[in-house]
Amino acid sequence: MKHKCDKCDKPATVHLTEILGGKKIEKHLCEECAAEEGITIKANVPISQLLEDFVLQAAEETETEPEITCDVCGMNFSEFREHGQLGCPNDYEVFSPMLEKMLAQAHGGANQHVGKVPIHADQTQKKQNAILRLRAELKEMITAEQYERAAVLRDQIKEMEAG
């Protein structure tokens, strides 16, 4: 059944069910009216905003902590916060605890690379990543109830771990 918006005559695209005082209340709103009511479909914040939020939050948290400085390039974390650019690859190690939190926010919860491994990285690394990638896919397939594919993946992982 198609609902019209509770407040105006436009088609409702936002449907809510609230339980208030043991009573079930259904709301059907168009997007504009929903926005007016302060109800929005959870939209993802752009990365630049996340970065900024994180930076501000981290600024509060770390204010009392001693500043961490990279011994390779001399970059400290406040400087990174200010410019958004790291100074050298070693910063990823040095700022790791703070970065991991930020990366998880910026990259949908992930803080571990599962993509391509460069040719010159050693074989063990390559294998670990391949297994990691298969595991992530396995997890997804199980959630999606794609059990046939999951079984194939599980075998692949076993084989790789054995070999």
Partner 1 sequence: MMKLADLTRQTSEWMRGAGPMHDVVISSRVRLARNLAGMPFLSRCSDEQKTGIVERLRTEILAGGLAKDLFYVDVAAASELDCQLLVERHLISRQHAESDHPRGVAISGDETIALMINEEDHLRMQVLRSGMQLHEAFDEINRIDDALGERVDFSYSDKFGFLTACPTNVGTGLRVSVMMHLPALKLSGEIEKALRGARDMRLAIRGLYGEGTDAIGDIFQISNQITLGLSEERIVEEFTGVVVPEFLRYERAAREALLKHNPTEVDDRIFRSLALLQSARKITAEETMYRLSMVRLGIYIERIKGLDLKATNELFLLAAPAHLQKVHGDEVAEDKLDEVRAEFLRQRLADL
Smallest distance from partner 1 to CB 24, Å: 27
Q: Is 75 in the site for partner 1 (CB under 8 A)?
A: yes
Type of residue numbered 56:
L
Residue 109 phi, psi (nearest 5):
95, -10
Q: Between 27 and 95, name the residue whose CB sits nearer to partner 1.
A: 95
Among positions 21, 97, 109, 163, the unique one binding partner 1 when judged by CB under 8 A = 109
Alpha helices in 69-146 (DSSP H): 77-83, 91-94, 96-106, 123-143
Q: Between 63 and 122, name the residue whose CB sits nearer to partner 1.
A: 122
Q: Is 89 in the site for partner 1 (CB under 8 A)?
A: yes
Dihedral sign from CA coordinates of 49, 62, 76, 101: negative
Tokens 């050298």 belong to residue: 88
Q: Between 16 and 35, name the residue whose CB sits nearer to partner 1.
A: 35
Alpha carbon distance 113, 132 (integer Å): 9
Query: Which residues of this protein are in contact with partner 1, per CB under 8 A?
Result: 31, 41-44, 46-47, 51, 72-75, 83-89, 92-93, 99, 102-103, 106-121, 125, 128-129, 133, 136
